[in-house]
Structure 1
Amino acid sequence: MSRSIENPDYAAFLRRIIRAYSKRIADGDIEALADLAGVVAELDHAIAQAVIQLRVQHGYSWADIARPLGITRQAAQQRWGGESS
C-alpha cells in the first residue's frame, strides 16, 4: 500500500525545493538561470492543465477556480479560457 501525501504538504515541499534551487543559482551558477525559467514555464503549463481538468472533468465554474487564486472569474477565464470557453 502506498503512502498518501496531502496536497498542502506536497505544495510546501515543492516551494522548499524551488527556494533551495534559487539559492544554488544565486551562489553563482548563472547558466542555471535558464533552467529556473524553464521551471516557471512548466509550472504555467501545469496550472493550465489543472484548470482544464477542474473544468472539464469536475465541472468547476470560473468563479470556483478564481476564488482560491484571489482573482475574478473574468480574469481566470481570460487567462485560461482560450477561445473555446
Structure 2
Amino acid sequence: MARLGRCGVSVETGEFLAMLRRMLRAAGRRVAAADEVELADLAALRDDLDRVIADAVQGQRSHGRSWAMIGDGLGISKQAAQQRYGQRKTTQ
C-alpha cells in the first residue's frame, strides 16, 4: 500500500520497511563501536518493535483480517497469533 511521505512523495510500505531494516542494521554497526549506554538503547528497540507489531495486529483486526491471515503474515499459526495478540495487555 502506498502512502504519501512528508514531501508528498508516494512511498510503498514495502520500500519503507526495507529502509527501516537498513537503518536498523546501520544502527547495529554504529553501536558495535559505541559504549554500553548505546547498546542498552539499541536493545530497548526490541520492546518498541513488539509494541508496534501488536498495534499493527490490532489495526489489521479492525480492518477485518482473520487470525489465520495475521498468523500467516507473522509466520505463526492462527492460534498462536490469537493467543499472543488477542487480548491486549495495558502497559503504562
Normalising by the smaller structure, the TM-score range is 0.7 to 0.9
- Please, which of 25, 28, 34 is the counterpart of residue 34 of structure 2? 28
Deviation at 1:39, TM superposition (A): 1.2
Residue 67 of structure 2 corresponds to residue 62 of structure 1: yes
Higher relative contact order (CA 8 A, sep 6+): 1
Q: What percent of counterpart residues are identical? A: 48
CA RMSD, Structure 1 to Structure 2 (Å): 1.5
Structure 1: unaligned runs, 5 residues or longer:
none
Residue matched to 1:42: 48
> Which of the two has greater strand per residue?
2
CA distance in 2, matches of 1:55, 1:28: 40
Q: TM-score, normalised by structure 1?
A: 0.88
- Higher mean alpha-carbon deviation, 37-46 vs 13-22, is at 37-46
CA distance in 2, matches of 1:70, 1:40: 18
Q: How does 1:10-29 map to 2 (within 5 A)?
A: 10-29=16-35
SS at match of 1:31: helix
> Which of the two has greater helix per residue?
1
Residue 10 of structure 2 corresponds to residue 4 of structure 1: yes
CA distance in 1, matches of 2:76, 2:35: 35
Structure 1 stretches of 4+ moved >3 Å: none
Structure 2: unaligned runs, 5 residues or longer:
1-6
